[in-house]
């Protein structure tokens, strides 16, 4: 088993970190730069910063904030939100980001994934997939989870791998913010369907949930937000617990 990663996620809206439940009911969780620096110093393997209103409000992602983050954070970090072209990605990577994540734009224009992978390398292209259980199937949603698509999640995951994605960030909308555990079945299904790393997101509430998503869900990394932002679980404590349960950690 390869070493697993713990990734705090900072959803950013209007320059502040926010957290909601099922993509709704947002509440303030602090300054993203300060939080990111804290996590970098306290056991996080990577960070993910998502400008959650960028696609909905037709805004470009926050290059100036990325520069500031890069000055205060010494671990790899991914940024996303409203990215739809090579030029934007170039600016973000030059500003200090290690990886970028695309979601809605990749569904509308799958060739974008291929273009980005060829221009910048697969290792820095993460495709985010927001999925929801609808009519007994897992479907892909876009535009911050507000718009359903006919795409089945496993089919889309296979396609983005073929297009050159280096990683998949899989978020279950049904589990997001509930703290009832990750979506183990679809996470395992995707992990078995692709050979690239799968980051599980949505539903973390206890240390056991992380153990389950790494063992039953077969995820390569686990992403969480509120339990870290509101100090419900300390990352170093979590990693020690996982090591005690024979899960190799970074």
Choice among 11, 45, 176, 220 that is catalytic: 11
Asked if residue 222 has pLDDT above 50, the reply is yes
What pLDDT does 94 receive?
A: 95
The answer to whether residue 130 is catalytic is yes
Asked if residue 54 has pLDDT above 70, the reply is no
Average of per-residue pLDDT values in the chain: 91
SS3 206: coil
User: pLDDT higher for 223 or 24?
Assistant: 223
User: pLDDT higher for 21 or 38?
Assistant: 38
Question: Which of 5, 47, 17, 25 is closest to 176 using CA atoms?
Answer: 25
Contacts of residue 187, defined as CB under 8 A and 6 or more positions apart, other chains included, come to 170, 172, 198, 200, 213, 217, 218, 219
Residues 32/62, Cβ–Cβ less than 8 Å: no
Strand partners, 80: 50, 101
Question: CB 237: neighbour CB atoms within 10 A?
Answer: 11
What pLDDT does 151 receive?
A: 97
Choice among 130, 176, 212, 220 that is catalytic: 130
Q: How far is residue 121's CA from residue 51's CA, in Å, rounded to a whole number? A: 23
Work out the end-to-end distance of the chain between its first and last CA atoms, rounded to an integer number of angstroms. Answer: 12
Cβ burial of 210 (10 Å; 0-12, 13-18, 19+) is buried
Q: How far is residue 188's CA from residue 200's CA, in Å, rounded to a whole number? A: 10
Long-range contacts of 174-177 (CB under 8 A, 24+ apart): 174/22, 174/132, 174/133, 174/202, 175/202, 175/203, 176/20, 176/21, 176/22, 176/23, 176/201, 176/202, 176/203, 177/19, 177/20, 177/21, 177/22, 177/23, 177/202, 177/203, 177/225, 177/226
What average pLDDT does this structure show over 96-122? 97
Rounded to two decimals, what is the model's pTM? 0.92
Q: In terms of DSSP H, where are the helices of 14-79?
A: 32-41, 63-72
Asked if residue 23 has pLDDT above 50, the reply is no
User: pLDDT higher for 21 or 96?
Assistant: 96
- Which pLDDT tens digit goes with each residue over 138-194? 999 998 888 999 999 999 999 999 999 999 999 999 998 889 999 999 999 999 999
- In order of their start, the domains of the chain are 5-244 (3.20.20.70)
């Amino acid at each position: 088993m390869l070493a697993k990663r713990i990734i705090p996620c900072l959803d950013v809206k209007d320059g502040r970190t926010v957290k909601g439940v099922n993509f709704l009911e947002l509440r303030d969780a602090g300054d993203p730069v300060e939080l990111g620096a804290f996590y970098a110093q306290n056991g996080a393997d990577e960070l993910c910063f998502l400008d959650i209103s960028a696609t909905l409000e037709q805004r470009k992602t926050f290059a100036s904030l990325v520069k500031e983050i890069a000055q205060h954070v010494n671990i790899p970090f991914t940024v996303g939100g409203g990215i739809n072209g090579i030029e934007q990605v170039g600016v973000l990577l030059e500003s200090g980001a290690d990886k970028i994540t695309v979601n809605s734009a990749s569904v509308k224009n799958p060739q974008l994934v291929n273009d980005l992978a060829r221009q910048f390398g697969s290792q820095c292209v993460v495709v985010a997939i927001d999925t929801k259980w609808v009519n007994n199937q897992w479907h892909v949603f876009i535009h911050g989870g507000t718009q359903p698509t006919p795409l089945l999640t496993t089919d889309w995951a296979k396609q983005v791998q073929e297009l050159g994605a280096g990683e998949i960030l899989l978020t279950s909308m049904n589990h997001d913010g509930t703290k009832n555990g990750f979506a183990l079945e679809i996470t395992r299904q995707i992990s078995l369907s692709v050979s690239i790393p799968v980051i599980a997101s949505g539903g973390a509430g206890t240390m056991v949930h992380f153990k389950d998503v790494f063992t039953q869900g077969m995820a390569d990394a686990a992403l969480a937000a509120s339990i870290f932002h509101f100090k419900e679980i300390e990352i170093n404590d979590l990693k020690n617990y996982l090591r005690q349960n024979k899960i190799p950690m970074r």
